[in-house]
Structure 1
Amino acid sequence: MASPPWLQNLSRAFRAHRMGRVGWYLEANRERLRVVSAELPPRPGEPPEAVSTRRAITLQTPPGPATSAAALAEACGVFDAVMAGQWSWPDPEAIPAADDPGHLSHAALERLTDQLRARLVGEQMGESTWQRTWRPYLAKLAAAAGERRWADDAALLGACLRNWEPNSRARQMAYDRARRLWKEGGWPWPEELQPLRGNGKAAADPRGVRAFTDEEIAGLREAILRSKLTPADLVAWDCLICFGLRPKELQALELRQYEGALVLVAVVGRNKRSSKGSGGARTVVAVPPAGWPRDCFDLLGRWREHGLPVGLLAARSPGQKLTQQLRRLQLPDELTAYGTRHAFALRLGVELGLSVREAAEMMGHSPAVHLSTYGRRLDAPKLQDKLAALVKARSQA
């Protein structure tokens, strides 16, 4: 098959640059351009004395009439470097520079991801955290890079980020993970992508956190009793409801009576560590929903008899398993296992009137975290009552 006119013109220009030196060719191979010559040095691992009549180096410039000038410059650069004895085969494991079109290939992004993992795992996070909250986003980005040849960084990143809902937490995490990867490669980040990260506050529930209501808690318990879940599962949910625990805290928990009274307490033995700080073991007094008996339907006796589900205690993410139970029980989609913890916080602040500092201590986090998470729900009733009183006083004046 005859070469296309643009390749014939490119070959003539390359021959003119060589000034008559023979044994060098340009050819198109599988939608890529290659420089072919026996004068290319031996590849890494190839014996220096090896004789070859044909070695080829694939150019980074894609073929076509629109890119002929760039392809000619790259091919001439290879020829000149070989003639000067300064050319070497590129390192296949090296991370390409940002101006190298190959930096957007699937292989390059996978190597960069491995490099980032080696830097973060063991120093800033564990392997399970990497696999759960980093690897899926970066793997999707590398897969997108392998689907086609992308014009530039912004085109690849923008197409990948649009796989997640705007203003969603997942979109924001994908954006942040990709930006950290680009920093690892030393590549400039396309600032025009900033709007794609979105604003989590735009999608936030205007009521603040989504907590279980007392009616929804009653519905949850009834649904569990009707389902195939075990008595141990109900014990786990009642512990979350009455003590405001994080699901993970079920894995190091002891229940007891408070100084012989009917009031229950939970001794939480698991330490919580995060970027916001750490919290040690604590003792939490049971605060069940209104209308519950003080013994929380004999929770202590049921805990001693049935314990907690073995699968839940062994799970890497108990919260995920519990939220899956909510979906199977057909509770509202916006409710998660953390909704019982949110409800507990509101009972402390709205119903019992505990201060932010007191409630935060019971829940095992700082007052700042408590205020940022629950401030909107805690302040709204007080603000509404205050405004109603002021309006009433003004009308009576």
Structure 2
Amino acid sequence: MVRTSCGAGWKVRNARGRMRLEVQDHGSVMLIYPWSQEGASSALPRIQQIFKRWNGGQITLAAAAQKADTSSSHQKLDFNKLFETYREFVPNAGDTTWRYNYLPVLKNLRACFEGKPPVDGVALAMVCLAQWEQGSRMRQTSRQKLYGFLNWAVRRGYLKSIYLPPATLPETLKPKRIGYPLSDSQILQLLENLPGGELHARWRFAIQLCAVYGLRPEELRHLVIKDGVSGPELWTIYQKSMGGTKGAKTEPRRLHPLFLRDGDGTAIDWKLQARLQLGEQLPPLNRDGDGGQALNQYLRRRKVWMALRGEAKRLGEQLTPYSFRHRYAKQMHAANVPIANISEAMGHTIEVHLKSYARFKPNATADIVAAVNI
């Protein structure tokens, strides 16, 4: 399709809708241009620049491609096409993850090159991440996505090496928020005040599941019944990133109920597993990966929930849909269940558990002082 006028052995092939430049005995490099007539017109000048800098094989083809791209104005670089190419490089990122975790920071990067480009990777990163509060989870996620893209773009010659992400970036860490654990009586009050009707009944079912099994809201999408050695078992097959290890994810786990108790201390069995087996429906939970937001939107329309938010705030804590999960952790500790078993039931490591829930462990100092006062 592309006539390069660069001598024998230079070919451009179709690589899944993109152009791959191949040079006999010298390897190949991917180009950002689509396999189309329009793409061919855009690709030809860059291929000619690569040929010029390659200089008969005096440097590698990859180095020539990098020099050709970075010596020209970045204002001419089509970032939309570049993002499309990178999208193929991260196929494990779902549509929602791409839209909400990648695109915002990548659009900030594109804007940086619409005027005078930043002087280096540090300046670029600071501008791209400026909209998110330092220390916040969203800033951390955006930084991770930005750095991944920059490493990829520099290695492939689309950006100068000065735009490699910095090893460190000055940050003011935001104090970790303290999650508010709902009590059984508060959850029962919330459930009793939900409106009638089928849709609200579905949300009531979702809240019951989160509270009794200590679920992450997103896990509501991934509940299955498995045939266990002693009969049917309720499992979640949801897998989330473990953090710290690239690609590592949590394992599916069997769920264990921790019943709520009424004012008399009597355990309340809502027969949740049996209801799932019979096909009782859960509410609509919007896009994949967004179960927590859907539940939060529903709860924020409930007067009891908003009143509980105010109570949590007065204690310096935060009420979120995870507060049902916090209830599970607190009650498991109150029942003196070993930490290893609590962590297994909640689907995280002991280290992760203690970072969030060490405050629920029995207080040895309080026990000793209480014994002294007898």
TM-score, structure 1 length as denominator?
0.59
Please show how residues 145-160 of structure 1 align to structure 2 within 5 Å.
145-146=113-114, 148-153=115-120, 154-160=122-128
1:266-318 residue CA offsets vs partner (Å, 9 max, x unmatched)? 61252435344432341413332563643345657876888233523985532
Structure 1 letter corresponding to 2:353 = H
Q: Give the aligned partner of residue 268 of structure 1.
A: 235
Where in structure 1 are there 5+ consecutive unaligned residues?
A: 1-43, 47-56, 58-77, 85-93
**112-121 or 162-171, which deviates more:** 112-121
Alignment counterpart, residue 217 of structure 1, candidates 176, 179, 187: 187
Distance 1:151 1:306, change over 3 A: closer
Q: Taking structure 2 as the reference length, what is the TM-score of the superposition?
A: 0.62
Q: Does 2:345 correspond to 1:345?
A: no
1:130 is matched with which residue? 98
Q: How far apart are the structure 1 equivalents of 2:141 and 2:117?
A: 22
Alignment partner of 1:378 is 2:350: no
SS in 2 for 1:121: coil
How many angstroms apart in 2 are the aligned matches of 1:169 and 1:313? 22
Corresponding residue of 1:179:
147
- Equivalent pairs, count: 293
Between the aligned residues of both structures, percent identity stands at: 24
In the alignment, does 2:269 pair up with 1:286? no
8 Å Cα contact 1:211-1:340 kept in structure 2: yes
Aligned to 2:337: 354
Alignment partners' CA distance in 2, 1:219 and 1:100: 66
Q: Secondary structure at the match of 1:267?
A: strand
Could you tell me which of 237, 244, 252 is aligned with 2:207? 237
Cα-to-partner distance string for 1:52-102 (whole Å, 9 max, x where unaligned): xxxxx9xxxxxxxxxxxxxxxxxxxx9xx9xx9xxxxxxxxx777896573
Unaligned runs of 5+ residues in structure 2 are 1-39, 56-64, 155-160, 243-247, 311-317
**Which has the higher relative contact order, 1 or 2, with Cα contacts under 8 A spaced 6 or more apart?**
2
- In our comparison, the structure showing a higher alpha carbon Rg is 1
Following superposition, the deviation at residue 162 of structure 1 comes to 1.7
Conservation of the 8 A alpha-carbon contact between 2:194 and 2:204: yes
Q: For the structure 1 residues 99 and 378, does the alpha-carbon distance in structure 2 shift closer, same or farther, using more than 3 Å as the test?
A: same
Task: Call closer, same or farther: CA 1:127–1:191 in 2, change over 3 Å.
Answer: same
Tell me whether 1:116 sits opposite 2:86 in the alignment: yes
Q: Say what the alpha-carbon RMSD is for the aligned residues.
A: 4.5
Confirm or deny: 8 A CA contact 2:261 2:268 kept in the other structure: no
Deviation at 1:355, TM superposition (A): 0.6
Find 2:294's aligned residue among 316, 321, 345: 321
- CA change 1:113–1:203 in 2 (3 A) is farther
For 1:102, the equivalent position in structure 2 comes to 73
Alpha-carbon distance in structure 2 between the residues aligned to 1:249 and 1:293: 27
SS of 2:281's equivalent in the other structure is coil
Distance (Å, rounded) in 2 between the aligned partners of 1:366 and 1:166: 27
Q: Distance in 1 between matches of 2:296 and 2:270?
A: 23
Deviation at 1:220, TM superposition (A): 2.8
How far does the alpha carbon of each residue in 1:222-252 deviate from its partner, in whole angstroms, 9 at most, with x for none? 4423799521210111111111122233232
Secondary structure (helix, strand or coil) at the match of 1:311 reads coil
Q: 1:308 to 1:180 in 2, by over 3 A?
A: same
